[in-house]
A and B are shown apart, each in its own frame.
Chain A
Amino acid sequence: MTRMRIRALSIFALFALTAASARADVVDDAFARGNALAAAGDYAGAVRAYEDAEALLPGRSAALSFNLGTAYAQLGQLGPATYHLRRALQPQAEASVDIAEAARRNLGVVRQRAEVAAAAANLQIDRPETWRDAALSALRSPAFGWLSVSAGWLALLVWVVRSRYREAARSALAGLAAVLAALYLVIGGLHGYALRTELGAPQAIALPAKLEVREGPSIHRKTVFTVQGGSRLSLVERGSGWGRVRLPGGLEGWAPLSELGELAAPPRRLASEPPSP
């Protein structure tokens, strides 16, 4: 009986390992195929290959997102290029220093091209990121969450146990508790505000070259303004297939969700339909 169990477990492990390695091989093959096509100048083919790899990749890859964004930038598609380059810089992608530096550089180039295109076609574009955006992005990290929670509980602990000590130590512990409480309030408040801005209005990228934003969630409603592709928008409300978006400057309107790339959502296949299994 025991021998049969060992055999069954061995066969199961063999199948599991084979499937995982096979999937990894397919992802690597698609990535290598994309690299070869990009080296040959076929960026459209490279985009398709990279998106094949991304569809099969179970996790995240900063290199894949970077190559995908760069290939889109080579094709002049500024919206998808911005979307993938920003994904490459997300903390979940765990970009290396080199890839992060290259992604920031390409993002700057794409941004410059988008500003020129927006000025030439008289389109709306988001304002460049400010120190406030960078600060909010940093404050959203879990480290600040842990710091604020720990400071709060530590302050409570110090306040409770201070009565067990003598007067001199008691005043010192009270001061420490006050400092911890201040950390709890300030860092917790900032972290909560950053979380609220992200959860209340997740960031999205305008994917088409010109995104028409309408006064209501319908194709028949009047276009209130047109946004340059690659612009960063806040998705403040969702309807059926439509989302109410807001430019950082405050302009608001409705745009199809299919033309928005949400940075916090799973990746979108933009170049073509996925290959049939």
Chain B
Amino acid sequence: MRRALPRRRLLQLAGAAGLGLCLSPRTAHADTKSRVVAEIDRDRVEVGEAFELTVQVDSEGERGSEVPEPVLPDLAALGLQVVGMPATYRSTSSSFSFGTGRGSTMTTRTTLTSVYTLVASKPGRFELPVHIMEGKTKVTPPRIPAVEVTGQAAPTEPIPAAADGPTEPQGDIFLWTRLDKPTVFVGEQLTYTLEIYERLPFLQIQLRQLPGFQDFWSEELPQGQMRQAVVGNTAYRVHPGLRRALFPQRAGTLTLSPAEVGIGMRRRITGRPVTVEVKPLPAGAPAGFSPNNVGVYSIRAQADRTNIKVGEPFTLTIAIQGTGNIRVIDPGSWPEMPGLRRYEPKIETDVTTGAQLGGERRYAFLVIPERGGQLTVPPHTFHYFDPATASYQTATSAPIELTVAGDPNAAPTPTTDAPPPPTAAEEEGILAPIVEPATLPRATPSPSWLTPSRWGWGMAGAPVLLALGTAATALWRRFGPDESSRVAAARAAKQRELLAQAERGLASGEGFYPALAQLLQAAAVERAGPEGEGLPRHTLLALLARKGVSSADCDRLRDLLDRCDAARFGARGESASEREAALRTARELLASPTALKPGSSARTPS
């Protein structure tokens, strides 16, 4: 984040611009409307130290007119480098002026302020002739800023890489590049280490520019730990900056350009380029050797199962493992596998990053046996160059024997890289053929009545009904009539039924007296209570008399019962009026509280 220009600084610049306008009318052309002022915050810096160049452009004109951009000198030629993007600020103000006999005029003044952060890379005194172009007119500031750079320029001549640390102290902070080998073969691993030596505790150390790894294959390695080191007689703290495994891709003297580190916002330090000698691979490479295969490797082959059937796929895995640039390894051409169809492999790579880059690269093939019998997955041969012994080596996997169930004489299908579309010949005998009935058999499916929603209602209905029934029963038991009430109700119903039967036989006499006798007998037994059960008539009447029934009612009851017996069993016939009178008498007995009415209070006989 660019630091905001202090307000005080802006006021000073504005004042300086105004003063310049007043005192240097020759520098700013009389007919120009734009003016420029340039200033630097420090007149003296060291190599690698940052300073700020502030350029302010004032422009008068109509509202909305463009302000010319400042033009910087060739900074690269001066050994200066712009860090980041410049910070720019723009402000606008308007003023009115009134003249005699003339109308008012409005003037808009726009100020554009740009702040550049520059870093010097070589010593000397450098002027910064900033200007602006207004049309074809070059407008220069009233004072050309100049900066004096002290110190020594970073060395740019490459040196052979060293495997060890520095032997002489180089100031309070510097970069050091180490390569583990000064000479390597093409494709051999080279370990690059960038370290930052600091004598004082610096804050915000950041890698601003990576070193150049052109002509190298680069893989990141884990960084080391911060440590203490003594260079000469000076103690330094060593920060790990960068660690890479480099694999040179061509022979010759290869140069690694330096890295640049920023310390806060105001200082840059640069390392020194280093060179490494890369030797070509020696002659005598075996046929099929790939220059990517530099390192130490072994190979193995494995099948997920060896007892299979014709047409049943299995997975064949060929794994190459060892140290070297495992990602770009070339396994060579795969051998023919008679009787087996092989598809393109699925490749997986596990990289291990220790002192040496390495790991395992697996090629998983889908293989399908095309005929039965004993089949063999042939060994796979892999050539590599061992830089330690500077010789070519060969690794070979073990063959794999397969037991395939099926026809040993089945014709193989041509091998292709992708699953082939089935042909008619291939599918003959595998797919069942189409059917060709004379007329197309068809079905008209009728939707089942038992839809899921109906099934749900049906399933819920039974338990709901059971629950309702149980609840109703419980309520009935809780709030319904008790046992005696139910018995009384049943008795009254029976009486009503017998009375109705007697009324029906009133005219014809049929069934009249049996119903009447049964009605009176039952009423008498009920009136007498439990002890009246099974008593002969005269005993029952005596009991009724003891229970409080008046003697007149007992006589009427006896008379009625006798008449009923006479009508039922004797030859005596009665008229309808006599039957009506008997029924009336029976009703009176049943309704009288002193006779047979149920619930009549018992009276003690005198």
A binding-site residues for B, Cβ under 8 Å: 27-28, 31, 35, 38-39, 41, 46, 53, 57-64, 66-67, 70-71, 73-76, 92-94, 96, 98-99, 102-103, 105-106, 109, 112-113, 115-117, 119-122, 142, 145-146, 148-149, 152-153, 155-156, 159-160, 184, 188, 191-192, 195, 199
Contacts and interface: CB of A to CB of B under 8 A. Distances in A.
Given A74-B424, A102-B435, 5 more contacts: A27-B440, A64-B440, A74-B431, A112-B311, A195-B455
A92 B445 contact: yes
Contacts of B530: none
Q: Which 4 A-B pairs have the closest CB atoms?
A: A76-B421, A102-B432, A152-B462, A94-B443
Contacts, number: 130
Interface in B440-472: 440-445, 448, 450, 452, 455-456, 458-459, 461-463, 465-466, 469
* Residue in B315, B419, B421 whose Cβ sees the most chain A Cβ within 10 Å: B419
A113 B434 contact: no
The B contact surface, by secondary structure, is: loop
Contacts of B463: 152, 156
29 contacts: A27-B440, A31-B440, A39-B436, A41-B424, A58-B444, A59-B444, A60-B443, A61-B442, A62-B443, A63-B440, A67-B434, A70-B431, A74-B422, A74-B431, A75-B422, A76-B422, A92-B443, A102-B435, A109-B431, A120-B344, A120-B366, A120-B418, A120-B419, A149-B450, A152-B459, A152-B461, A152-B463, A156-B462, A156-B465
A26 B195 CA distance: 86
A138 B459 CA distance: 19
A66 B368 contact: no
A122 B346 contact: yes
Contacts of B422: 73-76, 113
B22 interface: no
A106 B452 contact: no
A236 B419 CA distance: 32
Nearest to A59: B444
A149 B459 contact: yes
Contacts of B430: 109
A75 B433 CA distance: 14
Interface residues of B, number: 42
Nearest to A67: B434
A146 B440 contact: no
Residue of B344, B418, B422 most packed against chain A (CB within 10 A): B422
* Residue among B311, B315, B431, B469 having the largest count of chain A Cβ atoms under 10 Å: B431
Nearest to B440: A31
A142 B443 contact: no
Contacts of A121: 419
Interface in B60-96: none
A273 B442 CA distance: 23
Contacts of A46: 434
A258 to B, nearest CB: 23
Nearest to A149: B458
Contact of A61 (B441, B455, B461): B441
B443 to A, nearest CB: 4
Contacts of B431: 70, 73-74, 105-106, 109
A41 B418 CA distance: 23
A27 B441 CA distance: 11
A142 B313 CA distance: 40
Contact of A28 (B439, B448, B458): B439
B450 A146 contact: yes
Nearest to A53: B440
A156 B466 contact: yes
A188 B432 contact: no
Nearest to A96: B441
